[in-house]
Amino acid sequence: MVTPLIVALDVRTAVEAEELATRLRLHVGGFKVGLELLMGEGPSVVARLVELGSPVFVDAKLHDIPNTVARAARRLGVLGARWVTVHASGGEEMVRVAAEALADSSEGKAGALAVTVLTSLDEHGLNAVGVDRPLGDHVAAMAQIGAKAGAEGVVCAVTEAARVKELGLDLIVVTPGIRPAGAESSDQRRVATPGAAITSGADLLVVGRPITSAPDPVAAAIAIVDEIASALSTA
């Protein structure tokens, strides 16, 4: 992977996604397919993006009974997904069957990423849905579920990345909510710059609108790649 930068293709159509991916693929480390694109175009968009040669991260956020999650994960593995997200709050068994189905259907090339706490939630929002422990403690608990279940990594905000790394769980840490200095946080509450993410221990950084909505997406991606490289050189 040339860089830890994963571009979120938060667009409506496969044509838009493929055009962006074609322009950006030599500059970034992979692409994320989110729910809007997945629901609008269907899972076949994953295979079309895989054909471009970059890793494809399917942010399906699977959360259902284990049998259903396993079947869905298997389908995405067959299509060539490199990573698929699964909510750790669904429990250890659910995450485990997803990880096993992905590995089996991809000859060991695909892995599950356990989602800890959405970056749109702060501690108040978490408490409102019945989770009374501190946000950092909850993220740590969800990460431990992912590790026990055989997930390849976890998804968490930059603010909790160091906490996850300190657990010593041998998980890759994927951080969404990455915004270059001066960019709007939009609907995400726990955001950080690319440099801060690297300093906190993030392994993969997901960036969407600051690149895809930029007047020149390639230039925007290169600027972020340069910031990541600078942070890595001093880490």
- As annotated, the active-site residues are 61
Map tokens 């709007």 to a residue.
Answer: 184
Amino acid 161 reads A
Name every residue whose Cβ is closer than 8 Å to that of residue 22 and which is 6 or more positions away in sequence: 52
Question: Distance between CA atoms of 184 and 208, rounded to whole angstroms?
Answer: 12
CB-based contact 85:59 (threshold 8 Å):
yes
* Distance set, CA 111 to CA 23, 95, 192 (Å): 26, 11, 25
Length of the chain: 235
Q: Return the H-helix or E-strand segment holding 116.
A: none
